[in-house]
C-alpha cells in the first residue's frame, strides 16, 4: 500500500481508498476476529430485540455488509434495505462476504447517497446504524433523523450507536473524524425531528460505543 499523508488520504475518492486498503480495513476491524465478532454482536443484539424474518430492515451505512452477511440470509425475500455512500463497498461484499445465491434468493435492495435519501423504501420496521452517528455532527444527525422519520410507522424502531461526551469546540465536521455527543443533545435533536429517545447504553461494543433507541414520538 502506498504511503499517504492524512490530507492526501482524505482527498482520495472513496473507491480508491477502498481499493488501497481493502473493504474490511476501510470500515474498520480487518482482523477476522473483529470483523466477524462485531457483525455477530450486531446480529445477536437485533435478534434479542425482536428482529423477525418478515421485518423490513433498513441498514444505514451498510458498508461492506459486516452485519448484512448475517441478516440478509435470515430475512424474507425483499426485506433487507441497505444505504451507503460508497458503492464499491457493497460490490466488494458481493464478491467476498455473502454468497451470490443468497443475494439472488433474498433480493436485497440498495441505495447510494450521502444525504440520507430513503426514497428506495416505503417504510421500515427496524432501522440500524452502527458507527455512523459517531462520525456525524449535530446538523447531519438532524438530517438523518428528519429524513428517516418520514419513512417510520408508529411501531418503527431505530437503533444507533454513539460515543457519549461533549465534542471539543472549534473542530470542523468531517465524515472521517470521530464525534461525541451527549444523550441529552440527542434527545433534543430527536424531539425536533419527531422521535422519542431511549438511552440503552452499554451493549458490549468493543470500542465502547453506546446504544440509543429512537421511536416515533
Structural domains of the chain, ranges and CATH numbers in brackets:
30-216 (3.40.50.150)
Percent of the chain's residues with pLDDT above 90: 65
pLDDT at 170: 46
Quick one: angle between helices 183-193 and 138-149, nearest 10? Answer: 40
Each residue's pLDDT tens digit, 79-117? 999 999 989 889 888 888 888 888 899 999 999 999 999
Cα–Cα distance, 42 to 51 (Å, whole number):
11
Distance, in Å, from the CA atom of 132 to the CA atom of 209, rounded to the nearest integer, reads 11
180 DSSP assignment: B
pLDDT band at 182 (very low <50, low <70, confident <90, very high): very high
Beta strands in 88-178 (DSSP E): 109-112, 124-129, 152-162
Q: How confident is the model over 111-124, as a mean pLDDT?
A: 97
Mean of per-residue pLDDT scores for the chain = 87
The closest alpha carbon to 88, from 1, 21, 10, belongs to: 21
**∠123-129-133 over CA atoms, to 5°?**
120
The mean pLDDT value for 181-205 works out to 96
CB atoms within 10 A of CB 24: 22
What is the per-residue pLDDT across 20-33, written as a single tens digit (0 to 9) for each? 666 666 677 667 66
Helix (H, G, I), strand (E, B) or coil at 159: strand
Residues near 109 by beta carbon (within 8 Å), at least 6 away in sequence: 78, 80, 81, 82, 120, 121
Using alpha carbons only, give the angle 61, 87, 136 rounded to the nearest 5 degrees. 30
Positive/negative CA dihedral, 141, 130, 176, 112:
negative
Amino acid at each position: 500500500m502506498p504511503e499517504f499523508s492524512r490530507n492526501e488520504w482524505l482527498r482520495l475518492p472513496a473507491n480508491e481508498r477502498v481499493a488501497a486498503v481493502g473493504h474490511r480495513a476501510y470500515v474498520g476491524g480487518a482482523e477476522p476476529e473483529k470483523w466477524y465478532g462485531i457483525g455477530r454482536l450486531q446480529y445477536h443484539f437485533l435478534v434479542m430485540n425482536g428482529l423477525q424474518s418478515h421485518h423490513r430492515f433498513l441498514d444505514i451505512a451498510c458498508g461492506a455488509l459486516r452485519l448484512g452477511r448475517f441478516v440478509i440470509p435470515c430475512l424474507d425475500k425483499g426485506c433487507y434495505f441497505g444505504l451507503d455512500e460508497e458503492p464499491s463497498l457493497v460490490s466488494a461484499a458481493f464478491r467476498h462476504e455473502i454468497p451470490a445465491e443468497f443475494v439472488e434468493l433474498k433480493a436485497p435492495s440498495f441505495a447510494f447517497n450521502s444525504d440520507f435519501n430513503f426514497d428506495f423504501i416505503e417504510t421500515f420496521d427496524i432501522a440500524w446504524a452502527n458507527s455512523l452517528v459517531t462520525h456525524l455532527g449535530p446538523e447531519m444527525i438532524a438530517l438523518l433523523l428528519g429524513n428517516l422519520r418520514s419513512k417510520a410507522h408508529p411501531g418503527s424502531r431505530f437503533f444507533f450507536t454513539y460515543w457519549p461526551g461533549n465534542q471539543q469546540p472549534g473542530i470542523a465536521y468531517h465524515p472521517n473524524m470521530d464525534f461525541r455527543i451527549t444523550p441529552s443533545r440527542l434527545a433534543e435533536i430527536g424531539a425536533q425531528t419527531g422521535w422519542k429517545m431511549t438511552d440503552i447504553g452499554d451493549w458490549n461494543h468493543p470500542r465502547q460505543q453506546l446504544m440509543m433507541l429512537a421511536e416515533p414520538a
